[in-house]
Structure 1
Amino acid sequence: MQSLIKENIPIIKKFWCKKDVINLFKKNGQYAKVALIESLKQDIVSIYFCDEYYDYLYGPMLPETKSLGLFAIDHYPPGIIIRTPSLSNPLAVPPQENQNKLASLLSEADDWANILRCDYVSNLNQYITTGKSGDLIRISEALHEKKIAQIADTIVNSPNHPRVIFIAGPSSSGKTTFAQRLRVQLLVNGMQPVSLSMDNYFLDRDQTPLNEKGEYDFESFTAIDKTLLIDQILSLLSGEEVEIPTYNFFSGQKEWTGNKIHLPANHPIIVEGIHGLNPNLTKSLPKDKIYKIYISALTQLGIDKHNNIPTTVARLIRRIVRDYQFRGSSALKTIKQWPDVRTGEENNIFPYQEHADIMFNSALIYELAVLKKYAYPLLEKISNEVPEYSISRQLLDFLNYFETINNEDIIPNNSILREFIGNSCFF
């Protein structure tokens, strides 16, 4: 790598006839890439060259190898991890982190893709074009249900008998639906849990902190009324009845509507929200009675062998669809907000993910083929006169890889995907 950087070899993008590109990859046996390119609707395809090496790659590349000078390589069985600078600090390589639980979750995602025989987008497209997407959907949903049931069994059989179950994860990871499905599985085990959403414990608008742009920072840990939340959790654990607030996002005020709940003795509270793993929130609670769950959508699917689907891309598409469906927000507004959301995740969620007792992958291998139908027309409305246009075009190009699943009747009404496309039995 150092030699390639020193030589400063140009990385050149070329546009070739689709047929010639297909023949090129057939010669070296990259058949997943061949299937992907065959599915593209355009006649001209771009490929990148670096000296004698060539590849079809999703997204923009750097112009030359000297731009790759800052990196570090770690041995991480069964392979390696390359660390590069982040957008927030482009002049330094971030420190090495031990993320064994996340690595295990990624390994499980690979196992699920193998079970489904659906490693790449071309495999998914084949399921759709041959009319077999129904089987793929049923098996994907069954894997989710099995995993959620296993988590519930682990909680019930824990010798510590957890009383407070915190569920945290980044934006659009499906926390709300997961919390409801976990509650159902705990009910199956004879438990009688009550649920609290951290979204109802925001501070009133006049107390909400501002970010560096002078805008309300709802991603901040200091935006939560921690005192009220912890006091109500402790009261419930003591057997008291409490009145739960409802936060009105239009007025920016908590509303008290007489929603009173009581927790039966020795049964758990489920608390869902982005700050559920933050030790500053949980330090007032008995440590041996807390169970922490981290949930994220770690896409099992790859574009092909050399092109992974970034988790942030899949979550952004989920959020674009959900915000339009249920919050009246345009795709442009969601994309504009996304950098602040990502900053909040980097500061308030990801540093604590390894604190979780268990992790759950909420990605569904078929979901982008469903979300395409909703997201595509929303992205097409973004004008080329705004800075977000380039992101919208990247997302549209990405969605073009997928065939569309139009028949949604087979998607169960408790699916995590229903949180984004609608008709969920939980809302």
Structure 2
Amino acid sequence: MSETITIYCKNNNTYKEVPIGSSLLDIYALVGAPLRLRPMNAQVNNKTEGLSFRCWHPKDVEYVDYSQLSGMRTYVRSLCHIFSKAVNDVLPSATLNLEHPISKGYYCVIHNGKNIDEETIGKIKKRMCEIIDADLPFRLKTVRTADAAVLFRERGMNDKARLIESAGMPYTSYYDLDGYINYFYGCLTPSTGYVRLFDLVPYFDGVLLRVPQRGNPLELEPVIRQDKMFQVYKEHLTLQRTVGLDNVGDLNRAIEKGLSSEIVMVSEAMQEKQVAKIAEEIASRYDDGIRIVLISGPSSSGKTTFCKRLEVQLITNLIHPVSLSLDDYFLNREDTPKDETGEYDFESLYALDLPYFNSELQKLLSGEEIDVPSFDFETGRRVYKGKKLKMHQNSILVIEGIHALNPELTSMIEDRYKYRVYVSVLTSISLDNHNWIPTTDNRLLRRIIRDYRFRGYSARDTIARWPSVRRGEDKWIFPYQENADAMFNSAMLYELAALRKFAEPILGEVRECDPENAEAYRLLRFLRYFNYIPDVGLPGTSLLREFLGGGSFRY
């Protein structure tokens, strides 16, 4: 009789004796295939593993489909491997760059010495469908990093060779798909047949890889034009290529050569140039009636520091800024709306006292002095501490908050008085040509550090809260981002290398038995790709100081 181990399946609260060494895919059938949709991966003792992972000891297992974020990541990575192989098959001499998420999909550029027409896109899509229909296995192989680097260089994948060499890990795992090899950060599905729904369409001078909706994974995400955001990404990619930092492997090499200070200075100068440009644009429209600057953006985008730096630049343009924070206009706790779970919904626009806020706004614009409230988050009530505000002849009102770009917030004020700025972390540097860095990971790492250092929250607390924050952003922030007159990218080329030493010990406090460990462990593995940059060289006005401390501004 063969030896067995006990597997506990969290999906259906089932204990099952299975043959030792069984794969997660084999175990899935043995525990009764508990998911409605096909599994993409599984959380094994609160760590994400691919379905080919074999269990040699008793484990807790929770299967994940692509309606969950972790499952969707696995789906998209697998689709990208199929896409890159199809491009290689159709255009063997071409280089593919999977650049960044945009318009509910992923923007990609195929470099082939000429523009890629719709006929060529159609051939690539047809080849992708053939690969999927063949249900070819993704074969995971682990070799010494030096040997993997040789393999990648032989195939012209120098970006991947630089990444794995500079990350300093002795062994490297890569995936083989019918003789075509690729490297991905994270697991793939067992085979190509798991990836059925996708589309490939022309988008600007590249293509948009379309993926399923997480909320309704049997339908594709709609294509939403995000022209302004696209242009911001393009500007930052141009800067990267100007300084020779196409990806993280290049960044690590530059750090090894002692060029950290130069990278920091260029990144900070680029941001200051952006802030100055926005201030000059506002000043140029001041005579046309602009009196309110509305600044919005998702969590941990650096809105507060951006506001402070913008105010400095407005003063240099002879305009006097006066500021308001939407956080001071929350309703008293008992009047706050609740979400579908019965919890207070602090992300909702209607958690703000809109009538009161608009009446105060009208008073300010008409030259009256107002008493500025302060919201006491501990007691959940609005209080007054004697702060007063009045606009003068050369004043402009700067309003910051997650709902600032929502037209309903300032519906009583004519648009001709408003200038809107959207602040976000549009991470443009990639791990390599086929592995972009999710902007949400960048923001989550900022928030984990800030919450731990200044708000008394553990990494576990922040990770547990993050899905709710993301839902609020999807509903209340992202739909209005293209309303902006200007977009400010608060991501910097060097910042993940600077955040690493702060984030690692905080993430390391999450216990293996905690459900949040899967995300903490993933982020720790991700940070290993970055060589350290010391924070001592960061200027006091750096946007990162909002999260790390030690800055010139008072928060």
Rounded Cα–Cα distance in structure 2 between residues aligned with 1:214 and 1:20: 55
Aligned counterpart, 1:384: 512
The answer on whether the counterparts of 1:47 and 1:56 sit within 8 Å (CA) in structure 2 is: yes
Identify which of 133, 137, 148 aligns with 1:6.
Answer: 133
The answer on whether the counterparts of 2:167 and 2:531 sit within 8 Å (CA) in structure 1 is: no
Rounded Cα–Cα distance in structure 1 between residues aligned with 2:427 and 2:361: 34
Q: Does 1:107 align with 2:219?
A: no
Identify which of 318, 336, 340 aligns with 1:208.
Answer: 336
Greater shift after overlay, 254-263 or 408-417?
408-417
Q: Once the two structures are superposed, what CA deviation does each residue of 1:78-127 show, in whole Å capped at 9, x if it has no partner?
A: 10111212322222112221111111111112012123321211222122
Q: Secondary structure at the match of 2:431?
A: strand
Shift in Å, 1:44: 2.1
Q: Secondary structure at the match of 1:393?
A: helix
Aligned counterpart, 1:60: 187
Rounded Cα–Cα distance in structure 2 between residues aligned with 1:62 and 1:262: 60
Q: Once the two structures are superposed, what CA deviation does each residue of 1:348-404 show, in whole Å capped at 9, x if it has no partner?
A: 111111111111100011111111011000111111111111111110010000111
Aligned counterpart, 1:254: 382
Aligned counterpart, 1:354: 482
Q: How does 1:91-102 map to 2 (within 5 A)?
A: 91-102=218-229
Shift in Å, 1:266: 5.0
The answer on whether the counterparts of 2:293 and 2:421 sit within 8 Å (CA) in structure 1 is: yes
Shift in Å, 1:300: 2.1
The answer on whether the counterparts of 1:172 and 1:319 sit within 8 Å (CA) in structure 2 is: yes
Q: Does 1:39 align with 2:152?
A: no
| Greater relative CO, 1 or 2 (CA 8 Å, sep 6+) | 1
Aligned counterpart, 2:550: 423
Provide runs of 4+ in structure 1 moved above 6 Å: none
Rounded Cα–Cα distance in structure 1 between residues aligned with 2:511 and 2:262: 39
User: Structure 2 vs 1, CA of residues 300 and 95 (structure 1 numbering), >3 Å: closer, same or farther?
Assistant: closer
The answer on whether the counterparts of 1:200 and 1:247 sit within 8 Å (CA) in structure 2 is: yes
Aligned counterpart, 1:218: 346
Aligned counterpart, 1:78: 205
The answer on whether the counterparts of 2:166 and 2:253 sit within 8 Å (CA) in structure 1 is: no
The answer on whether the counterparts of 1:243 and 1:260 sit within 8 Å (CA) in structure 2 is: yes
The answer on whether the counterparts of 1:301 and 1:308 sit within 8 Å (CA) in structure 2 is: yes
Rounded Cα–Cα distance in structure 2 between residues aligned with 1:81 and 1:151: 30
Identify which of 356, 364, 381 aligns with 2:492.
Answer: 364
The answer on whether the counterparts of 1:83 and 1:94 sit within 8 Å (CA) in structure 2 is: yes
Shift in Å, 1:241: 0.4
Q: Secondary structure at the match of 1:282?
A: coil
Structure with more of its chain in strand, by fraction: 2
User: Structure 2 vs 1, CA of residues 42 and 114 (structure 1 numbering), >3 Å: closer, same or farther?
Assistant: closer
Rounded Cα–Cα distance in structure 1 between residues aligned with 2:435 and 2:428: 12
Question: CA-atom RMSD, angstroms?
Answer: 1.3
Aligned counterpart, 1:28: 155
Q: Does 1:124 align with 2:251?
A: yes
Q: Once the two structures are superposed, what CA deviation does each residue of 1:162-207 show, in whole Å capped at 9, x if it has no partner?
A: 1111001111110000011111111110101100111111111111
The answer on whether the counterparts of 1:370 and 1:404 sit within 8 Å (CA) in structure 2 is: yes
Amino acid at match of 1:141: E
Aligned counterpart, 2:465: 337
Identity %: 43
Rounded Cα–Cα distance in structure 1 between residues aligned with 2:266 and 2:195: 41
Greater shift after overlay, 388-397 or 3-12?
3-12
Q: Does 1:16 align with 2:143?
A: yes
Unaligned runs of 5+ in 2: 1-127
Aligned counterpart, 1:409: 536
Aligned counterpart, 1:290: 418
Q: Once the two structures are superposed, what CA deviation does each residue of 1:19-55 show, in whole Å capped at 9, x if it has no partner?
A: 2211111211222211211123332211112222211
Q: How does 1:186-335 map to 2 (within 5 A)?
A: 186-265=314-393, 267-335=395-463
Q: Does 1:142 align with 2:280?
A: no
Rounded Cα–Cα distance in structure 1 between residues aligned with 2:194 and 2:419: 44
Shift in Å, 1:290: 0.7
Structure 1 length normalisation: TM-score?
Answer: 0.97
Task: State the number of aligned residues.
Answer: 426
Structure 2 length normalisation: TM-score?
Answer: 0.75
Rounded Cα–Cα distance in structure 2 between residues aligned with 1:226 and 1:8: 55
The answer on whether the counterparts of 1:299 and 1:311 sit within 8 Å (CA) in structure 2 is: yes
Rounded Cα–Cα distance in structure 2 between residues aligned with 1:344 and 1:254: 23
Rounded Cα–Cα distance in structure 2 between residues aligned with 1:217 and 1:63: 40
Unaligned runs of 5+ in 1: none
